[in-house]
Amino acid sequence: MVQFSTAHEVLTVVFQVRGLESENPQLSVLLWERALDPERGAWALPGGRLRDNEDLTSSARRQLAEKVDLREVAHLEQLAIFSDPHRVPGVRTIASTYLGLVPAPAQPELPPDTHWQPVDQLPPMAFDHHPMVLHAHARLIAKLSYTNIGFALAPKEFAVSTLREVYEAALGYQVDATNLQRVLTRRGVISRTGTTAAPGRAGGRPAALFRFTDDRLRVTDEAAALRPPA
């Protein structure tokens, strides 16, 4: 029967803000370089075939753990399905894409063919993986505005200035630290730990430390317009 000649793969776009302590932190994607044809030398998203006894989310988690030894994914969500019959050569394969986020300080060990690539300098990519990254990035930018999704990118505890760097890297434009704090505090997204960080060698007032109130995705700005009557 024809309907059995279709395979299903799961591909995950994993983002992390890297270089926080350096001059310019950057949002980066996890990619691996294909050693074999087709598309030898092109960069691909981590993932692979779906197994019989697992659902898609488990599969995404397993692939990341097995193939790139990455277990510190703080958030994972479905993106779109790519189903063009000719998106890859050979057996027809439908791809389910996921968005995965890794907190900033984590530095997992990576296999030699795997690297973090800044999202604004993507290398030539295999198959239809390039639009997948763009789609994931767009989703991340949107959700930073109306959810607490930043918890999955930021360190456990952080100064507001650090959080600003995380947001700037992910959004791709400058953010006012003052207002970032106000907006996120008003929404209950972040809260003070009570402790402070030591100032740098140049002096300056010690920064109050914050943490994200929740470590699960929450919508914090439900409906801007046409909300239910009070």
Partner DNA sequence: CCAAAAGTGTTCGTTGTACACCCATGG
Partner DNA sequence: CCATGGGTGTACAACGAACACTTTTGG
| Interface ranges with its own copies (CB under 8 A) | 2-8, 49-57, 78, 80-81, 83-85, 92, 94, 96, 141-142, 144-146, 167, 171, 173-176, 180, 183, 221-229
Site string (26-65) toward DNA, x via CB under 7 A:
----------------------------------------
Tokens of 101: 């986020």
Pick from 48, 18, 13: nearest CA to 135: 13
SS3 43: strand
Check binding of 161 to DNA (CB under 7 A).
yes
> In this structure, what token pair is assigned to residue 89?
């050569």
Provide, rounded to whole angstroms, the least separation between the CB of residue 4 and its own copies.
Answer: 5
Provide the edge-to-edge strand list for the sheet that holds 190-196.
Answer: 158-159, 208-212, 190-196
Q: Which amino acid is located at 131 in the chain?
A: P
- The option from its own copies, DNA, none interacting with 204 (CB < 5 to 8 A, set by class) reads DNA
Q: Among 128, 181, 215, 218, which residue sits at the site for DNA (rule: CB under 7 A)?
A: 181
> Does 221 help bind DNA (rule: CB under 7 A)?
yes
| Cβ neighbours of residue 217 closer than 8 Å, sequence gap 6 or more | 75, 77, 143, 147, 148, 149
Segment contacting DNA (CB under 7 A): 14-22, 37-45, 148-156, 197-205?
197-205
Binding site partner of 78, from DNA, its own copies, none, Cβ cut-off 5-8 A by kind: its own copies
84 binds, among its own copies, DNA, none (CB under 5 to 8 A by kind): its own copies
Tokens linked to 54: 């697992």
Exposure b/e, 205-223, CB count within 10 A at least 16 = b: eebebbbbeeeebeebeee
- Of its own copies, DNA, none, which one sits near residue 230, judging by CB under 5 to 8 A according to partner kind? DNA
User: Within the chain, where are the H helices?
Assistant: 56-68, 129-146, 160-171, 177-186
φ, ψ at 210 (rounded to 5°): -125, 165
121 is in the binding site of which of DNA, its own copies, none (Cβ under 5 to 8 A by kind)?
none
Total residues contacting DNA by CB under 7 A comes to 30
Per the listing, tokens 């087709």 go with: 38
Binding residues for DNA (CB under 7 A):
159-161, 176, 178-179, 181-183, 186-187, 196, 198-208, 221, 224-227, 229-230
